[in-house]
Amino acid sequence: MDILKINDLKQLSNDELLSLEKETHDDVDKCYTEQIVKKTLANSLYGAIGNCYCRWYDIQQAEAITLSGQMVIKHIGNTLNKYLNDLFKTEDIDYLLYTDTDSCYLTLDELVKRVYKDKNPTDDEVCTFLDKVCKGKLEPLIAKTFTELENKYNYVSDQLFMKREAIALSAIWVSKKRYILSILDDEGVRLSTPKIKAMGLELKKSSTPSYCRDILTESVDKIFNGTEADVIEYIDECRKEFKQKPFEEIAFPRGVNDIGKWSCPDDVVKKCCPIHVRGSLYHNRLLAHYKLERVYKKISAGDKIKYIYLKVPNPAGTHVIAFSDTLPTEFNLDEYMDYNKQFEKAFLMPLRIILDAISWSSEHVNTLEGFFE
């Protein structure tokens, strides 16, 4: 797609603008798919080298890839830490929040405070300043460090490089590879409102009910932009709305495998059976019990299902039931849906993992101070 100037865009009709927007989205999707494919191929090659059944198997090569990556990212992190300690005239302060396979996450809060002092800059002004710092200072420093490593360890020249990815207003780290960023600038694209990027958490996972994905994302937004009281109030609102939702929207989605492995003629399921497989086997049992096998399809290995918790005792004789598209009304289980447990498992438990990381509560806590008020 040709690069257009602002004046060129003003001359386009609405239909032409819509066509251009679609073309741009298509190009973005194409480039994103290409990078994912290349990344997958590179990772597959690395995995193959470490697989003893591969023609090019060489465990030393696999170890060299892993250890080289670890050494490089640690060296870059130490270099950045030393630079910032020298800049701020501090000793042994760790400005490195986190390192991943190919990433270093720095806090530059101290730099912003020292530069702006008593001023009250906008987020856009801070982003512009930090972008200049990264491009003018940090990226050249990293490039110089890579050159030194290439010379020292005989790496292939100009194959190692890093660039600034995101500028975030704030972040929450739960554990390794599990974090959330409130991004203001994403690879040079300035955002009008912060974008939430969650890694390794249930916010966007396909195994989380679709409705819960939405309210978890909204909860995180309130964590970043509100108070603990705001989050607790929102949880109470969600609890009320949750009980009004059709159970198909709040059930856990899963894929079923090895269903025959866990089947037991006497007790329906064997011990230690995965919960979604248990729900599937009881679904099939109820179809047979009510003679509905010609009306509804049995759940088989490879099927996509949803499952939901039930109150006990109930006619099904289990605490969980699964279904493919919809639960047969003939099972008469609607009144036994355990909305409280489902809310706890699908929404509160993933949210508490985030809240615990910042020492917030998911409900109002009575204290001795409140008792004497």
Give me 39's structure tokens: 């990344």
Q: What distance in Å separates the CA atoms of residue 145 and residue 164, rounded to the nearest whole number?
A: 15
**What residues in the chain have per-residue pLDDT under 50?**
1-5, 371
Q: What is the pLDDT of residue 302?
A: 93
Q: What distance in Å separates the CA atoms of residue 279 and residue 277, rounded to the nearest whole number?
A: 5
CB neighbours of 122 closer than 8 A, spacing ≥ 6?
none
Specify the amino acid at residue 96. Answer: L
Q: What is the pLDDT of residue 366?
A: 62
Q: What is the pLDDT of residue 267?
A: 80
- Do residues 1 and 24 touch, judged by C-beta distance below 8 A? yes
Q: What is the pLDDT of residue 1?
A: 43
| Helix segments in the chain, DSSP class H | 6-10, 14-49, 59-88, 109-116, 123-133, 139-153, 210-225, 228-242, 247-250, 275-289, 339-343, 349-357, 368-371
Q: What is the pLDDT of residue 318?
A: 94
Q: What is the pLDDT of residue 23?
A: 78
Neighbours of 117 (CB within 10 A): 7
Q: What is the pLDDT of residue 372?
A: 52
Q: What distance in Å separates the CA atoms of residue 69 and residue 161, rounded to the nearest whole number?
A: 12
Q: What is the pLDDT of residue 2?
A: 47
Query: 206-373 adopts what CATH topology?
Result: Ribonuclease H-like motif (3.40.1820)
